[in-house]
Amino acid sequence: MPKTIRFIFGLILLAAVCQCNQYPRKAQSSILGYYDLSAHDNSGLLVFTGVIRLTSLEQNHLKGQCTIVREKNAPQNVFNENGPCEALLEGKTVSFDLAPFMDDGGLLFEGQLDEGRISGVWKLDGFVTSEVLGRFQAVKRRN
């Protein structure tokens, strides 16, 4: 009988340890989901909108799909896009590449994550990365 009690106690302890190890993973995965995006140039004009769908988080590497819809005030180098995007998450800092398979020609976002909202600055990726061209905000959808 004492071996059975020790065995049951061991299983309970193991289950508790497994629960503790999963908590941070669940907390980090709360960043996953759909975000409605809007971006303005440095003068405050709306230049593009879109959707960021973050689908996976492995360590600090985010992957997803991003859709960009160019507005009439957008610079010539901002194109409509619909494809994969990637980001690095370091604490609350997020750096997005909206064309991760191209050496140049995409949008770059550098921002901060704060309670379901990512906000920061955007640049164009090219032979030389542009200066900051404006600000963006991506708000997580409440489903």
* Alpha carbon distance 44, 11 (integer Å): 59
- For position 19, what pLDDT does the model report? 58
The residue whose two tokens read 């909108």 is 49
**pLDDT value of residue 27:** 44
Are 14 and 80 in a shared domain? no
Let me know: does 55 contact 63? Beta carbons within 8 Å. yes
Tell me how many domains the chain contains.
2
Domain match, 12 and 60 both: no
Confidence at residue 38, expressed as pLDDT on a 0 to 100 scale:
96
- Reported pTM: 0.74
Q: Which of 88, 110, 85 is nearest to 100 (CA)?
A: 85
One domain for residues 52 and 88: yes
8 and 51 belong to one structural domain: no
**102 & 118 share domain:** yes
Domain hosting residue 4, numbered range: 1-30
- Same domain, residue pair 40 and 93: yes
Q: What is the percent of the chain with per-residue pLDDT over 90, rounded to a whole number?
A: 49
pLDDT digits (tens, 9 = 90+) for 107-143: 889 999 998 999 999 988 766 677 889 999 999 998 6
Q: Provide the pLDDT confidence category of residue 39 given band limits of 50, 70 and 90.
A: very high
pLDDT digits (tens, 9 = 90+) for 49-101: 999 999 999 999 999 999 999 998 787 777 778 889 999 999 999 999 887 76
Based on the domain organization, do 125 and 112 belong to the same domain?
A: yes
CATH of the domain at 134: 2.40.128.120
- For 3, 93, 108, the CA distances from 89, given in Å and listed in that order, are 47, 6, 14
